Amino acid sequence: MGALFVLETVLLVCFVSTISAVKWPEGTYTLVKPKAGCPTEWLEGWRYQDNEDDDNKNQIEDQHHFFGIIGTHPRDMNFSYCSKDPNDVNDEGNWPSGDYCILKHGSTCPHGGFQSGYIFWDDEDSNNKNSVGGELPSGGFDRNTRIDYCCRDDGPYSTAIQLPTSKPFYLLRYNDFCQQVQGMLVREETVYTDDEDDNNINSVHGSHPFGPVSGQSNYKLFYCYYWPSLSSTVL
């Protein structure tokens, strides 16, 4: 019994070590920043998005893990981002096949399997207070907000993919469920934005995260929060 326990422990340690050694895929791209922070040496930025003033109904999942956002009913959205440095050589291979979205950074999506698209938010028209800082995903960030995405559905969400497991991170849901990741637990966290009420021009194009469709005056997106499975709590 003792020998079997030791063997199982060794196998577990070897498995965890293998998963932990996985590097982020090659290319440039952006992820939403969680409270735990960005991967080491990635570029950081933020976008303050002025949402509808009248009877604002913004809502974020209870006990969410987004960096810099307090509570579940923020009057305006202020998301932070982690962008992989184009000069970062501590990477390896392509993004694995699966069913998920990341944020585009640069003129093209990473190699292999992604399709591009965008979501355009019609932000508050009156006394608009939109602002930005640092490194952002590709898109448009003036009086309105457009974010470009890279999405794929070339593999089942239920087949766990390999990504780094050293700290929490976010992907976005593309179809019906969050992508499974080896060595990580996942929690879906929704974000509902109350966009401009008057003459709303929200729009979407191409491949983009699950939720918004053309003609909607407000959007609901589904973020997938991942944290190491060896942790006993949601970090």
212 within a domain of the structure (yes/no): yes
Average pLDDT over residues 97-106: 98
Using the structure block, give the residue that is written with the tokens 């898109």.
139
Residue 25 lies in a domain: yes
Name the domain count of the chain.
1
**Is 179 part of any domain?**
yes
145 is a domain residue: yes
State the pLDDT confidence band at 89, using cuts at 50, 70 and 90: confident
List of long-range contacts for 10-16, beta carbons under 8 Å, 24+ apart: 16/183, 16/230
pTM of the model: 0.90
pLDDT at 10: 42
Residue 235 is assigned to a structural domain of this protein = no
Confidence of residue 123 (pLDDT cuts 50, 70, 90): very high
Give the pLDDT of residue 5. 45
Q: Give the pLDDT mean for 38-56.
A: 96
Is residue 155 a part of any domain in this protein?
Answer: yes
Say if 170 falls within a structural domain.
yes
Region of residue 208 (phi > 0: left; psi between -120 and 50: alpha; otherwise: beta): beta
Domain of residue 128: give its range: 2-228
Distance between CA atoms of 146 and 140, rounded to whole angstroms?
5
In a domain? residue 139 = yes
